[in-house]
Structure 1
Amino acid sequence: MELIDIGCNLTHDSFGKDRDEVIAGARDVGVTRMVVTGASEAGSIEALKLARRHEGVLFATAGVHPHLAAEFTSETESVLADLHTEQPVVAVGECGLDYFRDFSPRPAQKKAFERQLELAVACGKPVFLHQRDAHADFLAILREFRPHLSHVVVHCFTDTREAMLDYLALDCHIGITGWICDERRGHHLKEFVDEIPADRLMIETDAPYLKPRNLRPKVRTHRNEPRWLPWIAGTVAACRGVTPQQLAAQTTACAREFFSLPA
């Protein structure tokens, strides 16, 4: 059963001592390819370096997370534009809006989001998006740019059915994480995840965050890893009434096409 993790933060410090073992462990359970998230200027550079060291297995995105939008400068924009020309960089982002934390002022978030969408229009690569508690503003900006963009995925989707339908109406893809495995807060996703068309559904761990709470046997660590993507796949498959093998085949084909990954 082959799986692709479309979003994992493998440059995170928590992987500093065993990163190669984590990657090998993921491959051992069928996670054959992983897209390493670039969420800052420095992090995007490191994501590219890591992808180059694991050619054909790891790929990268390049962008600035809304938490760091206040640090987005014209120099940052130039660095990202250069990164987007690199072959292992398969998407623009992670970018978007996050009003849940508001670590950066909202005007700065909007500006950084728009400038990165402009970069995506220029390079023609897919966009890897983040939205939390900012649906109205996020949708308004995305709707303006959508006709000029390539593929778009709203990654780590945790919002309402109505928000999901808004994104699907804009021909966006949806990324589902271990949030759906959390009985405390992910139950609502189980009720409508089966409404996502098979050719627009992808799965991800967002490691080291959002470790599936339904792991059995339980693992004594808070750190999530790509090797647990099959647990997420199994949960999503059950919600959609398909086998894990069917879910894996569908999401893998979708991710391959979305990011233009080799067969």
Structure 2
Amino acid sequence: MEWIDICFNLTHESFNKERDEVLERAREAGVSWMLITGADAHQSEKCLEIADRYPDCCRATLGVHPHLAKQWTDAIAARFSDLARADANVVAMGEMGLDYNRDHSPRPQQRSAFEAQLELAADLGLPVFLHERDAHHDFAQILRRWRDKVPAAVVHCFTGEADALAEYLDLDCHIGITGWVCDERRGHHLHPLVPRIPRGRLMIETDAPYLLPRSLPKGTGKKIGNGRRNEPAFLPHIGEYVAKLRDETPEDLAAHTTATARAFYNLPETAGV
């Protein structure tokens, strides 16, 4: 089986000393491509450096996360534009969007940075990688204004309710599902929603090092801080869990989610997986 992880925070410090080993474990698990996700200007450039170093399995996104929206400037927009035009390993803009759960940046600045990044993606002709938490109404309202101007959009780590899922599908968005769905404390509401995502719109992701699936055996993952680290090698576990919810075989789910991610990000075929 071949898998594609559409969100991997490889710039996280916990991976600094063992990137080669982490990527090798992912490949051994059947993960052929990993999308390295940008969250601010500096980290986005680092994502691209990593993608350029590992072009056989990594691609990069450039973006400013809503938590850091107060950092957004015209200079960052110009830098992202230059990078995306110069390097084909940039395959999407993001992580961008709205997060009203923590409000690390003021909401007006979140909305402004989100709209500015959608405008930049439209100008570059790149898909968008989106973050939304507790901000469905404002998020959908902004996205609706730009949806027909960007080639594709994925709402990553979807954790919302049925009405949000329906609206995002109506907006022709793809949906990313993480190990959140494996969490017995807070993921059960997603179980009846996951089968509603049509084939061709569903992609899966680890969001590593975050969101280690709680359905993995206790002690899985390297210990970091007060928890344990997720990594792309655990993506097949998420895929098998999602396949069961959808009454599909893991092989079928791997095939259609991989085909979807490959088309969304325009990824080449990968030999040997």
Identify whether the pair has TM-score above 0.5, normalized to the shorter chain. Answer: yes
Aligned to 1:228: 234
Residue type at the aligned position of 1:19: R
Deviation digits for residues 60-118 of structure 1, max 9, x if unmatched? 10000001100111111111111222200100000000000100000100010000000
Aligned to 2:2: 2
Alignment of 1:137-176 (within 5 A): 137-176=138-177
Q: Distance in 2 between matches of 1:218 and 1:244?
A: 24
Residue type at the aligned position of 1:26: A
- Residues 120, 241 of structure 1: alpha-carbon distance in 2 compared, 3 angstrom cutoff: same
Instruction: Please tell me the root mean square deviation across aligned C-alpha atoms, in Å.
Output: 0.9
Aligned to 1:200: 201
Q: Distance in 2 between matches of 1:83 and 1:149?
A: 18
Deviation digits for residues 202-253 of structure 1, max 9, x if unmatched? 0000000000001136415311100000110011000000000000001000
Q: Distance in 2 between matches of 1:107 and 1:141?
A: 12
**Alpha-carbon distance, 1:56 to partner:** 2.2
Aligned to 2:260: 254
TM-score, normalised by the number of residues in structure 2: 0.95
Q: Distance in 2 between matches of 1:90 and 1:151?
A: 11
Residue type at the aligned position of 1:17: K
Q: Distance in 1 between matches of 2:219 and 2:151?
A: 40
Q: % of aligned pairs identical?
A: 56
Q: Distance in 1 between matches of 2:243 and 2:103?
A: 34
Aligned to 1:14: 14
Q: Distance in 1 between matches of 2:112 and 2:56?
A: 34
Please state if 1:79 is matched with 2:85: no
Please state if 1:120 is matched with 2:121: yes
Residue type at the aligned position of 1:21: E
Residue type at the aligned position of 2:81: A
Please state if 1:37 is matched with 2:37: yes
DSSP 3-state at the match of 1:199: coil
Deviating more after overlay: 76-85 vs 169-178? 76-85
DSSP 3-state at the match of 1:6: strand
TM-score, normalised by the number of residues in structure 1: 0.98
**Alpha-carbon distance, 1:192 to partner:** 1.4
Please state if 1:241 is matched with 2:247: yes
Structure 1 segments unaligned to the other structure (5+ residues): none
Aligned to 2:56: 56
Q: Distance in 2 between matches of 1:164 and 1:83?
A: 33
Structure 2 segments unaligned to the other structure (5+ residues): none
Q: Distance in 2 between matches of 1:19 and 1:230?
A: 19
Aligned to 2:28: 28
Q: Distance in 1 between matches of 2:125 and 2:3?
A: 25
Q: Distance in 2 between matches of 1:92 and 1:83?
A: 11
Residue type at the aligned position of 2:265: F
Name segments (4+ residues, structure 1) moved above 2 Å.
none
Residue type at the aligned position of 1:130: H
